[in-house]
Amino acid sequence: MVLTESLPLIPLPNSAVPGEGALRLTDATRVHGEPSSARMLVDAMTRRTGMRLEIAPDASGPASGDIVLRVDPAAGAAEGYRLVIADDAEIVGADSAGLAHGVHTLLQLLREDDDGWALRHAVVSDAPRFAYRGVMLDVARRFFPVDEVRTVIDRAAALKFNHLHLHLSDDQGWRIHIDSWPLLSQRSSTASATGDGSLAGGGCYSRADYSEIVAYAASRHITVVPEIDMPGHTHAIGVAYPELVEAPVMNEHLLDDAARLGHALPEAGVPYTGWGVGHSSLRIREERTYDFVRDVLTELAELTPGPYLHIGGDESLGTSAEDFAYFVGRATEIVSSLGKTPVAWHEAGAAPGLASGTVGQFWGALTPEAAHAAQAARFVERGGRLILSPSDAAYLDMKYDEHFPIGQDWAGVIDVQRAYDWEPVTLLDVPASAIAGVEAPLWTETVRSLADAEQLMHPRLAAVAEVAWSAPGPQRSWASFRERLGAQAPAWRADGIRFHPTPEIPWSDR
């Protein structure tokens, strides 16, 4: 790896060599080549500098000082790119995603000095360490309208994430219209995790809304992974279809939390706004439940071009172990029969009938409990891979420090260094090839607005981005990262990102 100390790039590239000078941007600078990346580049530059570069017509050859964007499969591994900024600039993506990643790298080399705007001379060659780099948004505890999801997609794409996991259902709300079970969108989507029974923060995506999110994400080279959380986290389903669910079962933790927070307890058929988990379950032994599961997953599969359907499977404390195993076997089989790859939270590894190839999402600790590690390892034994979301490092809903006004702390407090300093491959006792990648979940019990979400995401999302993208090496260090992160501040401010200005980071003004 080549030293990159002086280039403010996040995530750290495989190799980045700074040059001496800078390429001046003027009224005459034109952008050539692949139209969608060209538009993205020109729009982002305008937001940052106020200058609007011209997109050159197809036939015109580049002049000195222009920016050229092209795709050439010979330019590297999947999603890789080469970038050269000298007398002119060129980005060659190994594919269209790689080209877009290269554009985001180029944008981080933009700087203003006394003579105006310029791009630092550099030669970068780059490709991701992990193929799966995800962000999860819990739209069930608080609904995010389509335009806010677009903003989250833009933020994630700028950090080279390539998957958006949408947590579309939970006890508090159901967020996607299903034609064959129409009461879900009418009756199960009104509540959110307000805590006090009031109906704010609800909502539901129409099929068209969801397709719009999928298409926008695709235009940013991001694959949507939809999750319907089952067989627990299903209270909202019972608000519309009582015959599908069991009566709520209380647990000690839920009772303590409800008393401490002043939240009402779950009541059958009534929208639930508290934060308790583990009280709800689908009816496992009734065939009608599987009609429901099949119908919902079939409609979701039709709307989802990506390969994954996530069936949840976490914290099913209201379901017996035997029933849980039975459900997981059937639900993952249904996903496989639809031609999709099932994904489930690590608890589902306990099910002997887990469909082969199911991807597991690990949410235990960096020092995993033996039972969690064993459940995660089962996915690998069954031919599946793992997505790592260690809750004490990658959870974006934990507080930065104990005084932070929003967020939870059950997995500990997570400052930026904690989100940064961990190694995916040695976390569990599985072969390195079994690690598909890394995902940072944002649960939204404490989130009331996009601004809240942005504060919890930024800057920790940048830390997880580097864990997911950048191979280990001398430059992939906290000391280097905090300097490079501090240098992002002017661009983030120009983009309107309401990040948490934590004192851990030397934020720069210009």
Minimum separation from the CB atom of position 351 to ligand TNX (A): 16
x-or-dash pattern for ligand TNX, window 136-175, by CB under 6 A? ----------------------------------------
Taking the least distance from each CB to ligand TNX, the nearer of 37 and 391 is 391
| Identified binder of ligand TNX from the candidate list 143, 272, 443, 507, rule CB under 6 A | 443
Q: With binding defined as CB under 6 A, does residue 397 bind ligand TNX?
A: yes
- Separation of alpha carbons 510 and 507, rounded Å: 9
- Separation of alpha carbons 490 and 510, rounded Å: 6
Minimum separation from the CB atom of position 314 to ligand TNX (A): 3
Quick one: which of 410, 480, 460 has its CA closest to 253? 410
**CA separation, residue 263 to residues 171, 221, 274, 402, 463 (Å):** 14, 40, 5, 22, 34
Taking the least distance from each CB to ligand TNX, the nearer of 363 and 379 is 363
In contact, 271 and 204? CB cutoff 8 Å: no
Taking the least distance from each CB to ligand TNX, the nearer of 66 and 454 is 454
Cis peptide before 226 (omega within 30 of 0): no
Q: Considering just the CA atoms, what is the radius of gyration of the chain in Å?
A: 23
Q: Which DSSP string do the residues of 60-108 spell out, in sequence order?
A: PPPPTT-EEEEE-GGG-STT-EEEEESSSEEEEESSHHHHHHHHHHHHH
Minimum separation from the CB atom of position 461 to ligand TNX (A): 16
26 CB-near residues (< 8 Å, 6+ apart): 65, 116
In contact, 141 and 170? CB cutoff 8 Å: yes
Catalytic residue among 315, 439, 445, 454: 315
Structure letter (DSSP) for residue 432: G
Give the other-Cβ count within 10 Å of 430's Cβ.
20
| Identified binder of ligand TNX from the candidate list 277, 351, 396, 428, rule CB under 6 A | 277
Site size for ligand TNX (CB under 6 A): 9
Minimum separation from the CB atom of position 176 to ligand TNX (A): 18
Q: With binding defined as CB under 6 A, does residue 363 bind ligand TNX?
A: yes
Minimum separation from the CB atom of position 201 to ligand TNX (A): 14
Q: With binding defined as CB under 6 A, does residue 251 bind ligand TNX?
A: no
Beta bridge partners of 117: 112
Taking the least distance from each CB to ligand TNX, the nearer of 392 and 397 is 397
58 CB-near residues (< 8 Å, 6+ apart): none
Q: Which of residues 401-440 bind ligand TNX (CB under 6 A)?
A: 408
x-or-dash pattern for ligand TNX, window 289-318, by CB under 6 A? -------------------------xx---
212 is catalytic: no
Taking the least distance from each CB to ligand TNX, the nearer of 66 and 314 is 314
Quick one: which of 165, 137, 37 has its CA closest to 437? 165
Taking the least distance from each CB to ligand TNX, the nearer of 166 and 277 is 277
| Identified binder of ligand TNX from the candidate list 117, 272, 345, 469, rule CB under 6 A | 345
Residues identified as active-site: 315
Interface with ligand TNX (CB under 6 A): 277, 314-315, 345, 363, 397, 408, 443, 445
